[in-house]
C-alpha cells in the first residue's frame, strides 16, 4: 500500500517544476512589458521637454521680430506715405514717395538681417519692394499663405511660415533659383485707424528659424523639425544628404519645402524600389494627429518620412500656425531596453533549461544547480540596477538642462521661482532677513543695435561670470531673469551686506571695461541694481520682487550705474 502511494505521487515534483517554469516565464514577460512601457514613457518625456524648449525659442524669436516690424509699421511717415501711394495708385511705379518709403524701411531694417521687404495693399499688390522688378505684381504671400495674409488685414502681427521665393537677377545671364524665405507681417493703419496695407519683412529661415529647430536634435538620430498645415517640411532636415542620395531631392536642393511628411510604407534606405508611390502616400501618424488636432500623447513607434521607425512628441502651435515634432530612431532610443530584454530572455532560457534538467537529474546535483540559478539571478539584478541607474542619471541631466539658461549657464527663470519660494519659506520659519537684487544692463539695446547680437551674447556671458565671482557664499543664488536682467537671492543677509554685495557686482562689471561707446552713462558697460531686504511677516515672494523691481526703477531714473535700496530701507550707494 505504501509503495502504491509513492508510485501515485512520484510525478508531483516534475509537475511543480513545470508550474514553476510557467510562472517564471509569465513573470519575466510581465516585467519586460513593464520596463518597456516605462522606457517609452521616459523617452516621450525627454522628447517633449526638448520640444517645449524649441517651441519657446521659436515663439521668442517670432515675438521679437514682430515687435520690430510693428514699430516700423506705426511710423508716422510710413503711414502718411502709404496713404499717398494708395491715393495715387496709377503713377506709384515712378512716384517719389515709393522711393522714400523704400529708403525709410531700408534705414529702419539695417540691423534686422532682412532679405526682402514689401508694402502691399489689400489685394496683395506690391506697392513697395526692395527690388524694382516686383512692383505692381501680386505678392506670393497672398497666394501661398492666404490665411496669414488675411490675419494681417484683420489687424494682427503674424509669423508667416517659409515659402519658396524667386531670387533676384543682378545680370541678365544669372540663373534664377527659388530659395526659401519666411516673413513676419504687420498691419499699416490710416489716420482713422483702419488697416489699409501690410508691411512684410522677409528672413532667411536657414539662418534664423531653422537654426533654432536644429538645436533640438537628440543623440545620433534625433531630429526636431516644423511643418505647415499641409504636411510640408518647412525647416532643414538632418538627413538632407541621405535624401539626395536616394534622389528624393535634387543634388543641390534642400529638404525644406521639398519633402512632405508622408509614410513611404517601408524603410527607404533598405527597400527603396518597394516603397509606396509618392502620390499615394498618406501623412505619417505624427503629421495626421498634429494636423487633426488630436491632443492625446502617443507612446508607440511609427514610421517617419524616411520610413524608419521612430518615437516622437509633437504639438500644433496656433500662434505660429505650424506643427512641431521631436523624433528619435527607435533603434537608438530603445538600445538600453533591448540589452535588458536580451539578457533577461537569455537568463530565462538558461533558467528554464536548468529547471528541466533538475527535474530529471539525481538529487545529489540539486544543490549545485540551485547555486547556478542564484548566480544568474544576481547577475540579472545587478544588470537591472545598472540600467536603472543610467536612466536616473539621464533624467537628472535633462532636469539640469531644463533649469539652466543655455546662454549664460546661470539658473533660468523657472529655477529662480523655485529657489525663491524655498528661501522665502525658510526666512519665515527662521525669522532671518532675506535680500533680493534686481540687476539690469544699462542701455543694452543700444549695445546690441551697434555691436551686434553676437557681441551682446558674449557680454551677457561675461556679466553672468562676474556676478557669480562676486558671490562668496554657497547659499547665494544667481539667475538670468530674462533678456539683460539678472536676479540674486541672498538668504540670511542684512540690508547693509546686501548693498555691499550689490556694489561689488556693479563695480566689478564697470571695472571690467567692456567697451560701450553708445552708453549715456560711461563709455563702458555698466549695470543698475535694485536691492530690497525683508524680514519677519513682511517676507513674501511678490513683495520681494515688487520692491526690488521698484528699486531698480529708481536706480535707472537716478541716472543708472547705481545701487539703490528700496525707499523703505532708506539707503543708497
Catalytic residue among 327, 484, 495, 510: 484
CA 556 to chain centre: 33
Task: Answer whether 301's CB lies under 8 Å from 198's CB.
Answer: no
The total of other beta-carbon atoms located within 10 Å of residue 8's CB is: 9
Task: Answer whether 352's CB lies under 8 Å from 25's CB.
Answer: yes
Strands 434-441 and 158-165: unpaired
Q: Nearest 5°: phi and psi at 303?
A: -85, 135
Task: Answer whether 555's CB lies under 8 Å from 562's CB.
Answer: yes
Q: Supply the DSSP string of 492-531, one letter for each residue.
A: T--HHHHHHHHHHHHHHHHHHT-B-TT-SS-SB--EEEEE
Question: Where does residue 91 fall: left (phi above 0), alpha (psi -120 to 50 degrees), or beta otherwise?
Answer: alpha
Task: Answer whether 51's CB lies under 8 Å from 325's CB.
Answer: yes
Catalytic residue flag (residue 484)? yes
The pairs formed by 70-75 with CB atoms below 8 angstroms and a separation of 24 or more are: 70/157, 70/186, 72/105, 72/108, 72/109, 72/186, 72/199, 73/186, 73/187, 73/188, 73/199, 74/189, 75/104, 75/108
Bridge partners of 225, per DSSP, are 325
The total of other beta-carbon atoms located within 10 Å of residue 467's CB is: 26
Burial class (CB in 10 A: 0-12, 13-18, 19+), 471: middle
Burial class (CB in 10 A: 0-12, 13-18, 19+), 120: buried
Start-end of H helices in 118-162 = 140-144, 146-153
CA 275 to chain centre: 33
Which residues does the annotation mark as catalytic? 484
Amino acid at each position: 500500500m505504501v509503495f502504491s502511494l509513492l508510485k501515485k505521487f512520484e510525478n508531483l515534483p516534475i509537475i511543480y517544476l513545470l508550474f514553476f517554469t510557467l510562472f517564471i516565464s509569465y513573470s519575466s514577460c510581465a516585467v519586460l512589458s513593464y520596463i518597456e512601457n516605462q522606457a517609452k514613457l521616459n523617452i516621450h518625456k525627454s522628447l517633449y521637454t526638448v520640444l517645449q524648449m524649441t517651441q519657446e525659442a521659436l515663439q521668442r524669436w517670432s515675438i521679437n521680430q514682430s515687435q520690430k516690424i510693428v514699430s516700423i509699421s506705426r511710423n508716422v511717415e510710413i503711414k502718411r506715405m502709404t496713404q499717398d501711394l494708395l491715393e495715387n495708385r496709377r503713377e506709384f511705379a515712378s512716384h517719389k514717395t515709393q522711393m522714400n518709403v523704400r529708403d525709410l524701411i531700408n534705414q529702419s531694417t539695417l540691423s534686422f538681417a532682412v532679405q526682402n521687404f514689401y508694402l502691399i495693399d489689400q489685394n496683395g499688390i506690391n506697392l513697395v519692394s526692395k527690388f524694382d522688378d516686383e512692383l505692381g505684381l501680386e505678392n506670393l504671400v497672398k497666394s501661398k499663405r492666404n490665411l496669414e495674409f488675411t490675419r494681417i488685414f484683420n489687424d494682427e502681427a503674424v509669423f508667416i511660415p517659409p515659402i519658396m521665393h524667386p531670387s533676384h537677377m543682378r545680370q541678365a545671364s544669372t540663373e534664377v533659383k527659388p530659395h526659401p524665405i519666411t516673413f513676419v507681417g504687420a498691419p499699416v493703419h490710416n489716420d482713422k485707424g483702419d488697416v489699409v496695407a501690410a508691411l512684410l519683412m522677409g528672413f532667411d529661415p536657414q539662418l534664423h528659424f531653422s537654426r533654432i529647430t536644429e538645436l533640438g536634435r537628440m543623440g545620433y538620430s534625433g531630429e526636431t523639425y516644423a511643418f505647415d498645415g499641409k504636411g510640408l517640411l518647412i525647416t532643414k532636415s538632418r538627413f538632407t544628404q541621405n535624401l539626395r542620395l536616394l534622389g528624393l531631392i535634387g543634388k543641390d536642393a534642400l529638404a525644406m519645402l521639398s519633402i512632405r511628411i508622408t509614410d513611404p510604407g517601408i524603410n527607404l534606405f533598405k527597400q527603396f524600389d518597394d516603397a509606396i508611390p509618392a502620390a499615394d502616400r498618406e501623412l505619417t501618424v505624427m503629421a495626421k494627429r498634429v494636423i487633426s488636432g488630436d491632443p492625446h500623447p502617443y507612446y508607440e513607434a511609427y514610421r517617419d518620412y524616411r520610413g524608419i521607425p521612430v518615437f516622437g512628441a509633437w504639438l500644433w502651435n496656433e500662434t505660429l500656425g505650424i506643427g512641431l515634432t521631436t523624433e528619435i530612431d527607435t533603434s537608438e532610443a530603445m538600445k538600453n531596453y533591448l540589452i535588458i530584454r536580451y539578457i533577461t530572455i537569455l537568463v530565462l532560457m538558461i533558467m528554464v533549461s536548468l529547471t528541466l534538467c533538475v527535474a530529471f537529474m539525481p538529487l545529489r546535483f540539486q544543490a549545485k544547480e540551485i547555486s547556478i540559478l542564484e548566480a544568474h539571478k544576481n547577475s540579472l539584478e545587478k544588470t537591472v540596477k545598472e540600467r536603472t541607474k543610467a536612466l536616473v542619471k539621464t533624467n537628472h541631466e535633462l532636469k539640469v538642462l531644463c533649469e539652466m539658461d543655455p546662454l549664460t549657464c546661470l539658473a533660468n527663470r523657472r529655477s529662480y521661482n523655485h529657489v525663491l519660494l524655498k528661501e522665502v519659506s525658510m526666512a519665515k520659519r527662521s525669522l532671518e532677513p532675506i535680500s533680493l537684487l534686481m540687476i539690469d544692463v544699462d542701455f543694452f539695446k543700444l549695445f546690441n543695435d551697434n555691436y551686434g547680437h553676437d557681441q551682446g551674447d558674449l557680454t551677457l556671458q561675461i556679466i553672468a561670470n562676474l556676478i557669480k565671482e562676486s558671490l562668496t557664499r554657497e547659499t547665494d543664488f544667481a539667475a538670468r531673469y530674462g533678456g539683460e536682467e539678472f536676479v540674486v537671492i541672498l538668504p540670511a543677509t542684512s540690508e547693509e551686506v546686501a548693498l555691499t554685495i550689490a556694489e561689488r557686482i556693479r563695480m566689478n562689471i564697470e571695472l571690467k571695461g567692456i567697451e560701450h561707446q553708445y552708453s549715456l552713462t560711461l563709455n563702458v558697460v555698466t549695470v543698475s541694481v535694485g536691492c530690497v531686504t525683508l524680514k519677519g511677516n513682511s517676507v513674501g515672494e511678490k513683495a520681494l520682487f515688487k520692491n526690488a523691481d521698484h528699486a531698480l526703477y529708481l536706480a535707472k531714473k537716478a541716472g543708472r550705474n547705481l545701487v539703490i535700496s528700496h525707499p523703505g530701507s532708506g539707503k543708497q550707494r
